[in-house]
Amino acid sequence: YLVEGRQARVMRRGMARFLSPEVLHDIAGDLEDLRPGMGRKREITVMFCDARGFTGLSERLAPEAAVEVLDAYLGAMSDCILAHGGTLSKYIGDGIMAFWNAPADCPDHPARAARAALAMIRAQEGIKERLRAAGRPAFDIGVGLHVGEAIVGTVGSEQRLDYTAIGDTVNLASRVEGLTKDFRVRICVTGDFAGRAGHGRFEFRELGRVQVKGRSAGVEILELAAERPAAGQEERK
């Protein structure tokens, strides 16, 4: 009993790095799937976010200033993800991987991820304004979103845990994020994601079909532009 209690406390401390307090509270009594070595297949929405031009910017700043800017950017993006029920998987340099619908069930996970992405764009605009006001060069971000099945689980040890996802869905989401450079947009999503998030709830712009390595058929790519106002809001306007 004492050993299991200690393990549960360690896991909760570790998971607090990835989850919002609300999600952590929801799963507090069911930590079995979060133990190292435990994984399961489930549908998730995967997000990758990357800072555009940050490497060049950091070379023009003092090391302390570069770290300060990076911390502000990562903090703001992470807040947006957690506020919309997402799970932070990892930071990859100046990039972020996150996903929805694990470990807690979230039936509307594509819509939540879409709202998080749009909130991240708004937050980054605020960061850009502050950088310009301080006389520093600004940078933008690119976000990629895809939905599908993946293996989700905790890897590592009691000292260091990573709760992450692996599989083709994750790989495709990463490639979709990279397409934001080619299409010169901020948020790229797949056709599968757009269909699940809802064309009636969000505004999408078709960008074309892209041949992705490892897939015989092309992948439909769209830009997520905005969230449509609810019917009641339109009437009040």
pLDDT of residue 147: 98
Would you give the distance in Å from CA 201 to the centre of its chain?
19
pLDDT of residue 22: 57
Q: How far apart are CA 62 and CA 14, in angstroms?
A: 32
- Indicate the DSSP class of residue 187: E
Digit-coded pLDDT (tens) for 11-23? 555 555 566 555 5
Alpha-carbon separation of residue 66 from 9, 58, 72, 175 (angstroms): 35, 5, 10, 27
Q: Which residues of 191-222 are buried (b: 16+ CB within 10 A; e: fewer)?
A: bbbbebbeeeebebeebeebebeeeeeebbbb
The one-letter code for the residue type at 67 is V
CB atoms within 10 A of CB 56: 10
Check: CB of residue 215 under 8 Å from CB of residue 200.
no
3-state secondary structure of 139: coil
Regions of the chain short of the pLDDT cut 50: 1-5, 235-237
- Print the SS3 string covering 155-184: EECCCCEEEEEECHHHHHHHHHHHHHHHHC
